[in-house]
Chains A and B, each alone.
Chain A
Amino acid sequence: MESKTYVYLNGKVIGHIDNPQKFVAEVRAARRKGQISGEINIAHIEKLNSVNINTDRGRLRKPYIIVEGGKSKFTPELAERIKKKEINFSYLVRSGIIEYLDAEEEENALVAIDEASVTEKSTHLDFDLTSILGLSANLAPYAEHNAISRQAMSVNYMKQSEGLYATNFNQRFDSRTYVLFYPQAPLITTAPYEALDVKRHASGQNLVVALSTYYGYNMSDALVINKAAVDRGVGRSMFYKSYTDEERRYPGGQRDRFRMPPPTSEGYMGEHAYSKLSEDGIIEPEMAVDEGDVLIGKVAPPRFLEENIGASGLEERTRDDSVVLKPGENGVVDSILFTETPGATRTVKVRIRSIRIPEKGDKFASRHGQKGVVALIANPEDMPFTASGIVPDILLNPLSIPSRLTFGHLLEEIAGKASAVSGNKFDGTAFTESGRDRLSQYGEVLKSHGFDDNGNEVLYDGITGRPFKASIFTGITYYYRLYHMVSNKMQVRSRGKVQILTHQPTEGKARQGALRFGEMERDALIGYGASLLLKERMLDQSDKTTVLICRQCGGMGYYDHIKRTQICPLCGNSSLAEVEISYAFKVLLDEIRSMHIMPRVKLKE
């Protein structure tokens, strides 16, 4: 039939060949010898009778050990030399022992998952089963016992965790960071975790967790945490936030100046706002600050140049452009940095610090995609306790496990317990051991220390003192404290700022805004038939204004304060009606009028 096989280079036909197998083998051999670039991938797709060569960017590639004739090219001698640090990884790549395959070339490969399963047909050998997962996903233990979706979430939570992100955090002026007070290395780690030495920058704590309900306070992903644990420092962290400002230069030789703004300056906020500033106009370290306090006093030239600038120009007119602590924030001035940018503008950075003690509404997560929000900080005397008097740090609702298939969480909990009682760390690297073997191993450790081998424990009700009928699964789990905290997010408003254009309330926390009563909420009220409630939301609590409408011509009039009469500028009529409309509608009428269309409002008395 058709004997010619087309060859595609990056998706474009460049020619045809007769013997694709031979051609592909030749290209691969040349690549392994280093005669052509190792970044070239070639694949023979039999179904389409084509040979695809890819050299373009953006292909995901994975390294494999080459297998030839049923034998891995990575010999024990090479392993020995690597141990002695005589050779490294890139040497292996260069010498044709390891090669990178892209998605298309992988279709031609038969990869053995370990040395033992290499056969005559195998073309490649994978390094380790952990390479199925990525770097971050490999840091969580018992990944093979969790649903993959949960594992993906766990990676996300790791990125949101607080810890020791850098040892020089004291010298840095990051715009916002958190540092955990007492980070701990996890009891259960994985091989990649140890290899990367992540524990030197640990970002969580080993907590005693009991899978128990507590008066409904831990329903649907809520957490109950022990007040004594919080007092001892569980989840306690420092929040750093930096404010920056610079002396900007303007065309015309004017520039900003760091100083105490004079009371004559435009937008002066009153004496008390500047009371914490020192003489140079910048706040002192270790000063306690609250919302509305000025951190950096700065004056700027006025925004608009006035005409009589020469006449009254003896005193320089200024505008207050100070940096103020944002609403809802407080803390202590931690450090101040003076510097100069290359453009010779002076720059000041002020770092504020405040302690973040876990409170109701703060977020925690384990390494298995199990997140939760603190709903109750329970008094330790009211919490369940074990026979030996241990009170759990966290009460996790048992219903959070079965539907999410995060059995790794349970395995970590029991392994953590075994680790704590025996003083040995256990390894939780994925795919290294069967779950059954692990469970029996931890069970034996627990048993030899006088605990139940299933990790269950008889708990006593802290309020009545009676033992619970069911024994409760208790153990130690590594928990992250995530940086989503209520204190940074909560906001209230009953009245406040409005937008200039529409007179409607502002939006967003930064602007002290309101919550939008949107289109769908509007539809809900219409559907309910609550016409007066709808009017209250859309008008009375939003942008209600009173305008004067001319009874004759239907145009908009105004109140003349000098003549003390209402007047319609169009027809001179002074018989106007006061009408309540939304300011947005007034703006609409104005805009229509600006398009040379005359809208007339006809009134019914």
Chain B
Amino acid sequence: MANTVNTSSKYIVDYGEPVGMIAAQSLGEPGTQMILRAFHFAGIESTIATSGLPRIVELVDARKKPETPITYVYLEGEYAKNINKAEVVLKKISEVKMSSVVRRVLENFSKGIIKLVLDTQALKANDLTPGQLSQKVAKKLDAATKVDSDGNILIKLKTKKLTEVRSISVKLMKDVVHGVEGAGKAMLQKDTKSGEFYIIAAGSNTEGIIGIEGVDKSRIYTNDVFAMYRQFGIEAARNTLVRELVTTLKEQKIRVDPRHLMIIADAMTYSGFIKGVGRHGLSGQKQSVFAKAAYEETVKHLVNAAAFSEIDNMRGVTENILVGKQIPIGTGSVHLAIKKEDMQKVKPESKHKK
């Protein structure tokens, strides 16, 4: 036991160790070896997701919307075991757009009428009836709708202007008629190990999904860091960041110690909200005027500093290199507690004398 403690304590980072720089180098160097937009192996999960360097950049820059959001929805109790019950949940989640249930759109500009020729098969598959759809459209557009004898929907618009009719019909096609808006197309998956069913959705509207009956609220996960932040808070966002970085690197068979990635994720989230690494995030919020000016937008920072008569306390690395001082990192982070001159005043203690 004592031995274990001893060994582990050897690996504790020393005071003044430039952990941030090492973390940056540990992620930056393998980044140069990564293949830009690699081809993926067959399989549903990885085919949709961005990977490689673009994904790393996306994460580290803290983009508000990831290029390919994915949500993993796990199910509770019976729902996870019974495929029929799981499919009910799937149908509630999976986003269905108007365009996928409509076969053709006929616009009558002179009368201001849009006629939707419905795809009956697609309707059935989504448990919709023309009547329901027509009510939804009526509510949405605030217009009179009617289902004709052929089962088509007729929409009587208030306007007859050509451009307006067209823009309404285009917008209408993008409307979500079923499922959770922003959840994307969802698929049912079976976990090969535990045999439980779970759902993968190509969106990140966790707020919408979490309220659906049968969804395990404690296990829902998305690769959208900001969605995780909104749903579960900053700690979850930090863990998501780490997890996403680790998996992205693992995919490319690049081995980086996860602790470096944790440092990066910590630096991005310590303030309580997610900050990117670049000019608008971490680097832009440095204390020192010189450090900011040395990074990007030199003149802007200098002028601002002058306008508000800022003081640079010379505590960081960049500004001390600029001036030519020893940097307060590593061997530069320690100082003599007593001045040299004062040492001479101290009389040697007689402790060691016999």
Contacts and interface: CB of A to CB of B under 8 A. Distances in A.
Interface stretch (A105-113, A215-223, A534-542): A534-542
A539 B332 CA distance: 15
B270 to A, nearest CB: 21
Interface string B282-302: 000000000000000000001
Nearest to A583: B324
A592 interface: yes
Given A531-B330, A597-B302, A523 B25 contact: yes
A562 interface: no
Given A532-B331, A597-B302, A526 B18 contact: yes
A535 B328 CA distance: 11
Interface in B315-335: 317, 321-333
B323 A535 contact: no
B331 A531 contact: yes
A597 B332 CA distance: 31
Given A529-B330, A531-B331, A597-B306, A582 B18 contact: no
Given A523-B21, A597-B302, A597-B306, A528 B330 contact: yes
Contacts of B18: 526-527, 529
Contacts of B328: 531
Contacts of B321: 522, 534, 538
A323 interface: no
A526 B16 CA distance: 11
Contacts of B303: 595, 597
Nearest to A536: B326
A526 B21 contact: yes
A585 interface: yes
Contact of B16 (A522, A529, A597): A529
B324 to A, nearest CB: 4
B317 A526 contact: yes
Chain A interface helix/strand/loop/mixed: helix
How many B residues are at the interface, by size bracket? 20 to 34
Contacts of B78: none
A150 interface: no
A580 interface: yes
Contacts of A595: 302-303
Contacts, number: 66
The listed residue with most A CB atoms (<10 A of its CB), out of B18, B24, B303, B333, is B18
A580 B329 contact: no
Contacts of B22: 527
Nearest to B298: A588
B306 A526 contact: no
B213 interface: no
Contacts of B21: 523, 526-527
A526 B325 CA distance: 13
A535 B329 contact: no
A539 B324 contact: yes
A527 B324 contact: no
B24 to A, nearest CB: 8
B323 A581 contact: yes
A526 B323 contact: no
B257 interface: no
B326 A532 contact: yes
A585 B329 contact: no
Interface in B7-23: 16-18, 21-22
A526 B327 contact: yes
A530 B325 CA distance: 13
A584 B332 contact: no
A585 B330 contact: no
B323 A585 contact: yes
Contacts of A526: 18, 21, 317, 327, 329-330
A498 to B, nearest CB: 15
B305 to A, nearest CB: 8
Contacts of A535: 324-327
Nearest to A544: B324
B332 A531 contact: yes
Contacts of B324: 535, 538-539, 544, 580-582, 585
Contacts of B329: 526, 529, 531
Contacts of B317: 526
Interface string A548-592: 000000000000000000000000000000001110110010001
B322 A584 contact: yes
A208 B329 CA distance: 58
Nearest to A588: B322
Contacts of B330: 526, 528-531
Given A526-B21, A526-B317, A527-B22, A585 B331 contact: no
B322 A585 contact: yes
A49 to B, nearest CB: 25
Given A582-B322, A592-B302, A527 B327 contact: no
Interface in A340-397: none
Interface in B334-348: none
Nearest to A543: B324
B323 A531 contact: no
A529 B322 contact: no
Nearest to B307: A597
Contacts of A592: 302, 306
Nearest to B22: A527
Contacts of A585: 322-324
A177 B172 CA distance: 74
A531 B322 contact: no
Contacts of B333: 531
A270 to B, nearest CB: 36
Which of A528, A531, A585 has the most chain B CB atoms closer than 10 A to its own CB? A531
A531 B327 contact: yes
B334 to A, nearest CB: 10
A335 to B, nearest CB: 50
Contacts of A530: 330-331
B332 A532 contact: yes
A523 B18 CA distance: 10
Contacts of A529: 16-18, 329-332
A602 B310 CA distance: 13
Contacts of B25: 523-524, 527
Contacts of A584: 322
Most interface-central of A524, A538, A602 (chain B CB within 10 A):
A538
Contacts of B311: 602
Given A526-B329, A531-B331, A535-B326, 18 more contacts: A523-B24, A523-B25, A526-B21, A526-B317, A526-B330, A528-B330, A529-B332, A530-B331, A531-B326, A531-B327, A531-B328, A531-B332, A532-B332, A539-B324, A582-B322, A584-B322, A585-B324, A588-B322
16 contacts: A523-B21, A526-B317, A527-B18, A529-B332, A531-B328, A531-B331, A531-B332, A532-B331, A532-B332, A534-B327, A535-B324, A581-B324, A582-B323, A582-B324, A585-B324, A597-B302
Interface of A: 522-524, 526-532, 534-535, 538-539, 544, 580-582, 584-585, 588, 592, 595, 597, 602
The 3 closest A-B pairs by CB, nearest first: A529-B330, A531-B332, A582-B324
